[in-house]
Chains A and B, each alone.
Chain A
Amino acid sequence: MIASLRADGLKMRKRWANWIMVAILLAWLVLLVYALLYLVVKTQPASLRGSQVPASVLIRQIFPENFIPTVLSTAASIGAAIMIIFGALSTASEYGWSTVQTILIQKPGRTAVLGGKGLALFVATVLISIAALAVSALSAYVVVTVDGSSSSWPAATEIVKGFGALILQLAVWAAFGAFLGIAFRSTAAAIGGGLVYLFVGEALLGSLFRTAPVIKDVLKLLPGINASGVNGAFRLTYTNPSNQVPLVDPTHGVITLLVYLVAFTVLSLLIFRRRDVGGG
């Protein structure tokens, strides 16, 4: 499995598409979260003037004291999308290029090949999480410095917990993408299916039907809703009445995400081990 991990690590490192996706995630954080919110708050457009939270308080979202909830909310949207693509590319491309057959006639068995790939994806997830946290923290520091305000950093334990929450949800989305890649054997279908699920299945339907009696209970089982539940444990230092209350509590969220992580991994392995490669 270590041999497969090393091989997959080399492939991931040398693939530009992976670096571009990481760059998009980090650029999104810097430009569309920190820079944009700072500009919006500072210029105070008409829409903001009617906000229940004054601009002087709202800007604290991008101060160091809130960098953990800010990076987690980014992870729940664009981060999830990036990781679905990341996971899907890592598995579906092997089918698209037919390299899966070249790999499988090397020494390791199928379990070791997929195990190595899973480990490589996990290592990449950890590194991406570190990069996202670091960029978020740096951006927050720059904002508060430029603004001339003061802010405190969260406690170390809070940062560690936030790091764990970030890794967990990004890993679930990466595993989801990898599973779709193996199930569909097509990069386009895996990415398309994953993103449609994320943005239509979870985000759109989740917000439309979150109060409907029966559907609400179904929504509580979905990974995105549970990721939001986990993120709910990391509250902003001010209260924003327009923020939605999570449907599930953080413990429920963590357990459900872990179940999803195991389920996607096991299902991927079952399909990968049993399915013929080529022919027919």
Chain B
Amino acid sequence: MGMAQSYAVETHGLSKRYATGVLAVNNLDLRVRTGEVYGFLGPNGAGKTTTLRMLSGLLRPTSGTATVAGGAPGSPASLAQLGAMVETPAFYPYLSGRDNLRVMARYSSVQKSRIEPVLQQVDMTDRARHKFKTYSTGMKQRLGVASALLKDPQLLILDEPTSGLDPQGTVEMRELIKDLRQGGRTVLLSSHLLNEVELTCDRVGVIARGSLVAEGTVDELRARSGGQALLVRASPIDQARRMLESLLKPDQVQLRDGLFTLAVGPSQAAAINRRLVADGVDVTELRVAEQSLEDVFLQLTEKQP
């Protein structure tokens, strides 16, 4: 079944309040476009996993609606197009990796012949005969992805797929995620790792305290959060500082390790350079400093009450 809608995931006012009274997700409006890799970014406890559990049909929302791969979350129509790994990959410890996939293939009514290709795809063929309980975290994550791929789904939901992986495993998982989008597949990836979403995602949604606080490409988020700064290295330093502070507001000028950070946009770079040189200051470095995604993330998530 092909997905005719332009959004693989669409939620309206989705909320989840647990029996304990905790409001984990609050009025969430989320739209994941078909065919994109969407990063669902937020600090621990922001509501990412709760949202993904609702989208997978594991949790029932307190209010709001969601459409996932063309169906209601948890409906057979939606599940048929959905592959998901939510939180820690959970499998039968007494079964081998291959037998675990056989079990999941049977549940999904998928041909047994799909098992070897997905094992190959996640590079687990050699360890597939070993019991799941002997697997390292990285191997468990890989098997989780393999299980999610069994149905060759149009939508893939991966919750913190690099969690617990060593640096090598993290890099390999990222490469795998990039490959997964092939064939028009949509990937919804949750993470609290900024680098991860920056390297793998087309668009990012930032969630904090259960609400979506920003959405867009990484560049759009950077621009929205205040954008850029100029970095200037010049000497003599004291003369340069006097010059810059007279030219700009004092709080727009910061000096650290001999490098000035000027809270102004790149459009002012030429004018500042001319002024410094005219006053006899040697400018040895002048460049635009892009705000890191980390800064953007902190800014967006800390803004919330």
Contacts and interface: CB of A to CB of B under 8 A. Distances in A.
Contact of B91 (A102, A110, A279): A102
A193 B56 CA distance: 32
A110 B79 CA distance: 12
A105 B82 contact: yes
Interface in A150-207: none
Interface string B51-86: 001001111100000000000001110011010101
A105 B22 CA distance: 25
Given A109-B76, A278-B58, A280-B22, A99 B107 contact: no
B90 A106 contact: no
B58 A99 contact: no
B118 interface: no
B95 interface: yes
B114 to A, nearest CB: 13
Interface residues of B, number: 41
Contacts of B76: 107-109
A4 B19 CA distance: 30
Contacts of A7: 103-104, 106-107
A280 B19 contact: yes
A3 B102 CA distance: 11
A99 B92 contact: yes
A276 B19 CA distance: 11
Contact of A98 (B24, B50, B90, B94): B90
B49 A279 contact: yes
A107 B107 contact: yes
A107 B109 contact: yes
Given A279-B53, A280-B18, A104 B58 contact: yes
Most buried by A among B56, B58, B93, B151: B58
Contacts of B80: 107
A278 B59 contact: yes
A105 B86 contact: yes
B58 A276 contact: yes
A277 B104 contact: no
Nearest to A112: B76
Nearest to B87: A278
B53 A277 contact: yes
B107 A113 contact: yes
A279 B57 contact: no
Interface in A89-111: 97-99, 101-110
B299 interface: no
Interface of A: 3-4, 6-7, 10-11, 14-16, 97-99, 101-110, 113, 276-280
The 7 closest A-B CB pairs, nearest first, are: A280-B18, A98-B90, A106-B107, A7-B106, A277-B58, A107-B108, A106-B108
12 contacts: A7-B104, A10-B103, A11-B95, A97-B92, A98-B87, A101-B87, A107-B76, A107-B79, A107-B107, A276-B60, A278-B49, A278-B86
